[in-house]
């Protein structure tokens, strides 16, 4: 399967995606920098290594964009929170996911590490999760509450799974969700656009990394 997106085509395609969902992307919000945080979802070698059986071409395409976002949030002294999707080596936490997926990202493996281009700083929070949503049975919510965060900017992989699941759970908790058309990625364009459409319709304001970065300055 050929890549639906590359770093070079990302800007052009994002404009097309935003145009396609525009009739439903009408809950426009301005980011409140002093109440914001960036969540970088599952940008791990497991998904970003082209030799991996779970390689997500969209994740590699958005990597430079996510890197700019991370730098911008750090410069603005706003939280950058990472997630890593991992499972115990004996898969005692796999549940139905162990049946659903052939490959699993094992805790402690090189594949489970976040891509070195966007490695977390020592004082940045890394959430370990075992299901798609970054909120499910993790301490993400208490971290956000203690940091007094109300505006969540979501980036990472995969658009239609962990990113969308996290966006929906954030909305249920009354966070204002900013979902990045050019800062999330998956394996197929139709899945990516479907998620953008669904989220714009009921859960998030779909926007671009550049728009977020401008508002942080």
Rounded Cα distance between 212 and 61, Å, is 19
Instruction: Out of 1.10.12.10, 3.30.930.10, 3.40.50.850, 3.10.20.310, select the CATH number for domain 10-18+34-174+185-216.
Output: 3.40.50.850
- Helix, strand, coil: what percent of the chain each, to 5? 40, 20, 40
Non-local CB neighbours of 15 within 8 Å, separated by 6+ positions: none
Continuous segment of H or E residues that includes residue 36: strand 36-41
What residue ranges do the domains of the chain occupy?
10-18+34-174+185-216
pTM > 0.95: yes or no:
yes
Query: In the numeric block, which tokens belong to residue 141?
Result: 């919510």
Q: Mind listing the pLDDT tens digit of every residue in the chain (217 residues)?
A: 679 999 999 999 999 999 999 999 999 999 999 999 999 999 999 999 999 989 999 999 999 999 999 999 999 999 999 999 999 999 999 999 999 998 899 999 999 999 999 999 999 999 999 999 999 999 999 999 999 999 999 999 999 999 999 999 999 999 999 999 999 999 999 999 999 999 999 999 999 999 999 999 8
């Amino acid at each position: 399967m050929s890549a639906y997106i590359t770093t070079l085509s990302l800007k052009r395609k994002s404009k097309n995606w935003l145009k396609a969902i525009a009739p439903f992307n009408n809950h426009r919000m301005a980011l409140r920098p002093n109440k914001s945080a960036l969540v970088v979802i599952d940008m791990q070698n497991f998904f970003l290594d082209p030799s991996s059986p779970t390689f997500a071409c969209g994740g590699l395409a958005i990597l430079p964009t996510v890197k700019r976002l991370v730098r911008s949030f750090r410069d603005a002294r706003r939280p950058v929170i990472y997630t890593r999707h991992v499972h115990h080596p004996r898969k005692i936490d796999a549940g139905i996911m162990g049946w659903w997926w052939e490959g699993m990202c094992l805790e402690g493996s090189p594949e489970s590490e976040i891509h070195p281009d966007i490695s977390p700083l020592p004082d940045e929070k890394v959430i370990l999760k075992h299901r798609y949503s970054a909120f499910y049975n993790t301490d993400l919510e208490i971290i956000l509450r203690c940091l007094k965060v109300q505006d969540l900017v979501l980036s990472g992989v995969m658009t239609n799974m962990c990113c969308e699941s996290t966006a929906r759970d954030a909305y249920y908790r009354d966070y204002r969700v900013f979902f990045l058309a050019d800062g999330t990625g998956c394996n197929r364009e139709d899945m990516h656009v479907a998620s953008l459409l669904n989220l714009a319709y009921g859960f998030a304001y779909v926007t671009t990394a550049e728009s977020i970065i401008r508002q942080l300055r």
